[in-house]
């Protein structure tokens, strides 16, 4: 384009905007047609494998200058609005609004999904199991504090599958009604308090930590107490109107929480999948090594192994394992078949597209 004045460039932008709106509506009409076919054939609206492929294709098309992350956010909202045209999607998450689980759900499902905040992680599972919500979003583990035990325990017995994962960089804010020097109590979720332990010890050594069900619940509690503060997200501050006293108070700047999407149904393969399983071994030496040997032989990478006490039997453990590949892949399926014969208990929790953390 030859050099022109600002108004000439803005006129060109308006022309592009008209083209974008026209093309978005053409895309929306095609999405509506797909929705009608899905309805006739009984196919679920949420298809993470398909959405993952779409986002990968869009990323490959991007030649800049728009950043890849920005383009991804734009297309997640386009996908969100397309789903909403086909059928409303209700997503349960640990609330109230502004919690990190709420942020993770918005990041994955966009503003067009109907968010259904719940008071506890157990209530999120209940909502999805009783079909009061189509899907649920719950925290599974944090890069600093490790696994979320409540989630692990519910995964043992739930009929739901893991349909996806969301990696969310966590940045904590300290919020309060009064000045920092007046703070005597700090409310937050146990994981958030633990992730800011060093900062609190250095900057608020006399303040008493008080646990709540979620970071947003902490904000609501601090709103009632002039001598209290809450640890939570910037969004929680904006939604609930509690002033930010300090930002970025987490002890580790790379602090990341892994959330999982839970729901009925299974996902198709994408080529970059992860499978999560739960197992217990026979109570004898070398049982876990023997059980996992087929994966080593087949060259399947185990991404995570987490032990958890089996509550029904003392000194016995359950193992949560993430591995590369989809449960429908021939090699993975063969290994799972061998694993079934070598374990006392085996449950495939789900196969889903693996995510990479945004910088």
Write the CATH number for 114.
Answer: 3.40.190.10
In this structure, are strands 185-188 and 228-232 parallel, antiparallel, or unpaired?
A: parallel
* Helix, strand, or coil (residue 94): strand
Place of tokens 């014969």: 341
Give the residue from 36, 58, 86 where a domain finishes: 86
Give the active site residue among 259, 295, 319, 320: 259
| Number of domains present in the structure of the chain | 4
Distances (CA, A) of 338 to 62, 260, 290, 292, 347: 43, 27, 10, 9, 13
Same-domain status, 345 and 293: yes
Give the active site residue among 212, 257, 270, 343: 257
**Within a domain: residue 53?**
yes
Same-domain status, 97 and 156: yes
- Examine the residue annotation and report whether 270 is marked as an active-site residue of this protein: no
**Within a domain: residue 190?**
yes
Q: How many helices (H) and strands (E) does the chain have?
A: 12, 15
- Examine the residue annotation and report whether 319 is marked as an active-site residue of this protein: no
Give the residue from 60, 86, 112 where a domain finishes: 86
Of the candidates 161, 327, 171, the residue with the CA atom closest to the CA atom of residue 247 = 171
**Within a domain: residue 267?**
no
* Residue/partner pairs of 151-156 with CB below 8 Å, 24 or more apart: 151/121, 151/260, 152/306, 152/308, 152/320, 153/308, 153/311, 154/121, 154/122, 154/125, 155/278, 155/320, 155/349, 156/278, 156/318, 156/347
Same-domain status, 239 and 287: no
pTM of the entire predicted model = 0.85
Place of tokens 């006399």: 206
Same-domain status, 97 and 157: yes
Structural domain span for residue 48:
6-86
In whole angstroms, give the CA distance from residue 301 to residue 337: 17
Local confidence pLDDT in tens for the 359 residues of the chain: 455 688 999 999 999 999 999 999 999 999 999 989 988 888 888 888 888 889 999 999 999 899 998 999 999 999 999 988 888 899 999 888 889 999 999 999 999 999 999 999 999 999 999 999 999 999 999 988 889 989 999 999 999 999 999 999 999 999 999 888 899 999 999 999 999 999 999 999 999 999 998 898 899 999 999 999 999 999 999 999 999 999 999 999 889 999 999 999 999 998 899 999 999 887 778 888 888 898 999 999 999 998 887 766 655 788 999 999 999 999 999 999 999 988 888 999 999 999 875 44
């Amino acid at each position: 384009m030859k050099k022109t004045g600002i108004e000439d460039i803005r006129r060109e932008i308006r022309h592009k905007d008209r083209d974008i709106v026209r093309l978005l509506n053409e895309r929306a009409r095609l999405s509506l047609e797909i929705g009608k076919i899905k309805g006739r054939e009984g196919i679920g609206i949420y298809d993470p494998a398909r959405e993952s492929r779409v986002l990968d294709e869009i990323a490959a098309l991007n030649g800049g200058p728009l950043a890849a992350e920005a383009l991804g956010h734009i297309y997640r909202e386009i996908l969100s609005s397309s789903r909403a045209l086909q059928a409303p999607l209700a997503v349960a998450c640990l609330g109230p609004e502004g919690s990190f689980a709420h942020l993770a759900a918005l990041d994955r499902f966009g503003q067009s999904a109907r968010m259904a905040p719940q008071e506890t992680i157990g209530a999120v599972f209940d909502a999805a199991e009783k079909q009061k919500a189509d899907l649920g979003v719950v925290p599974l583990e944090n890069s600093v504090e490790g696994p979320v035990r409540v989630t692990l325990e519910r995964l043992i017995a739930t009929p739901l599958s893991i349909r996806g994962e969301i990696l969310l960089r966590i940045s904590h804010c300290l919020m309060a009604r009064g000045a920092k020097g007046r703070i005597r109590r700090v409310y937050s979720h146990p994981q958030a308090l633990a992730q800011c332990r060093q900062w609190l010890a250095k900057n608020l050594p006399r303040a008493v930590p008080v646990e709540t069900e979620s970071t947003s619940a902490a904000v609501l509690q601090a709103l009632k107490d002039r001598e209290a503060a809450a640890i939570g997200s910037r969004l929680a501050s904006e939604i609930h109107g509690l002033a930010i006293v300090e930002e970025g108070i987490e002890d580790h700047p790379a602090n990341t929480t892994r959330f999982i999407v839970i729901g009925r149904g299974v996902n198709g393969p994408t080529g970059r999948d992860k499978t999560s399983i739960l197992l217990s071994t026979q109570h004898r030496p070398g049982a876990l090594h023997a059980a996992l040997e087929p994966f080593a032989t087949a060259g399947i990478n185990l991404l995570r192994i987490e032990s958890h006490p089996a509550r029904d039997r003392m000194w016995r453990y359950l193992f949560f394992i993430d591995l590369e590949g989809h449960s429908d892949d021939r090699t993975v399926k063969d290994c799972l078949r061998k694993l079934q014969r070598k374990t006392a208990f085996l449950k495939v929790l789900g196969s889903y597209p693996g995510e990479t953390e945004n910088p």
